Structure 1
């Protein structure tokens, strides 16, 4: 008698465990970055760059929120194409870089 193999997770279970938290993380980081850009002037960005980044954050947040609504409305049956995820990842990384530069600037001013 062979030992039973653990059952493989279904595609839906994988989506629920990986995609749902990932989408929520995008919303979290987009909100944090938006708050920073709305409340502080980044001297290392032009006003146009800062406004452009803020506009891209707002658009990406709407896209992610739409993906979350579709995911929930279908009971976790719908995924997100990696072509959509990649720009969101890049935007989060860009925001982390802006926040890092902002922290370095603030630390240097004390």
Structure 2
């Protein structure tokens, strides 16, 4: 192996760990928004369901982070798991952006 090439474990640590932290951060922000505000363009049922999806994803991310730590960075995550998290974060970003625009808030 070329010495300048990172090992698989190093790549996981460099890429997966910050990615999981990002998911944790954005799910937490979205959770806070949905718990503290009434989103006028979502029905109460839709807002509740979105909050439940975020809570489920938060649990999954927390579990993935624990597994990553327990295995000393040797456990990866299948992209089939990551893609729905990414889609949920994107959905939350869109809702937060629209909420800010409708309420006259800047970033």
Smaller-chain TM-score bracket: over 0.9
What is the rounded CA distance, in whole Å, between the counterparts of 1:90 and 1:16 in structure 2? Answer: 23
Q: CA separation in 1, counterparts of 2:21 and 2:4?
A: 27
TM-score scaled by structure 1?
0.92
Q: Give the equivalent residue in structure 2 for 1:60.
A: 57
Corresponding residue to 2:86 among 81, 86, 89: 89
Aligned counterparts of 1:36 and 1:78: Cα–Cα separation in 2: 32
In structure 1, what is the Cα distance between the partners aligned to 2:89 and 2:83? Answer: 10
Runs of 4+ in 1 over 3 A off after TM superposition: none
Question: 1-side partners of 2:28 and 2:4: how far apart?
Answer: 38
Is 1:16 paired with 2:17? no
Unaligned runs of 5+ in 2: none
- In the superposition, the TM-score normalised over structure 2's length comes to 0.94
SS in 2 for 1:107: coil
Q: How many residues align?
A: 104
Q: Give the superposed CA RMSD.
A: 1.1
Report deviation, 1:7. 2.1
Q: Which residue of 2 aligns with 1:43?
A: 40
Using the alignment, how far apart are the partners of 2:12 and 2:3 within structure 1? 19
In structure 1, the partner of 2:27 is 30
CA distance, structure 2, for counterparts of residue 107 and residue 6 of structure 1 = 53
Structure 1 residue aligned with 2:74: 77
